[in-house]
Amino acid sequence: MPTWKVLRRALAPTALAAVLAAPFTMPSPALATGALAPQVVAAVAPASFVGLPDRPLPSDHAAHPMTVTYHNDSSADRTVAPQILVESPDNGPFLAPTDIKLEVLTGGHWRTVRLASQTGTLYTDLTRAKLVLHSHHTLTQRYRLTVVKAGPGTVQPRIALYA
């Protein structure tokens, strides 16, 4: 499987790491209890990404199923997180989170997934999707994508790999 490149071509790798690490930062318990010296505990950012086949953003308003599959072929357990990116054209128009409805199948029910936006790219939160994938097991995650407001774009699923 190919290794994923930068989220947006306009972002340098170091800037991308800072953008991706920001949602992983949480206040420490000491800060929550009102301690005098504020401290922040940073969670670990992904070490790399595995890109999965991308596809054009559908232009109709129908629900389109998508399956994200990743096999851990290593001899060790690995922390992974599936992520869906919806990338707008470089010159716009840029998609807004309200233009797309993304759902994930969890426990036999479809649950709406919140999308964030950065520089014309809509994306799912990695922190909520993290899980441990055991050695030689396969992750299969089913999604349903509905375009509420049609526009050009590309759907790019990927897997975040943590060290």
Burial class (CB in 10 A: 0-12, 13-18, 19+), 96: middle
Residue-wise pLDDT for 62-104, tens only, equals: 999 999 999 999 999 999 999 999 999 998 889 999 999 999 9
What is the pLDDT averaged over residues 114-123?
Answer: 94
Residue-wise pLDDT for 12-65, tens only, equals: 444 444 444 444 333 333 333 333 333 333 468 999 999 999 999 998 999 999
Tokens representing 104 are: 């994930």
pLDDT given for residue 75 in this prediction: 96
pLDDT given for residue 57 in this prediction: 95
Residue ranges in 3-150 assigned as alpha helix (H): 13-21, 29-32
pTM of the model: 0.72
For 69, residues 6+ apart whose C-beta sits below 8 A from its C-beta are 52, 138, 139, 140, 141
Residue 150 has pLDDT above 90, yes or no: no
| Strand ranges in 72-108 using DSSP code E only, listed in sequence order | 78-87, 100-106
pLDDT given for residue 40 in this prediction: 36
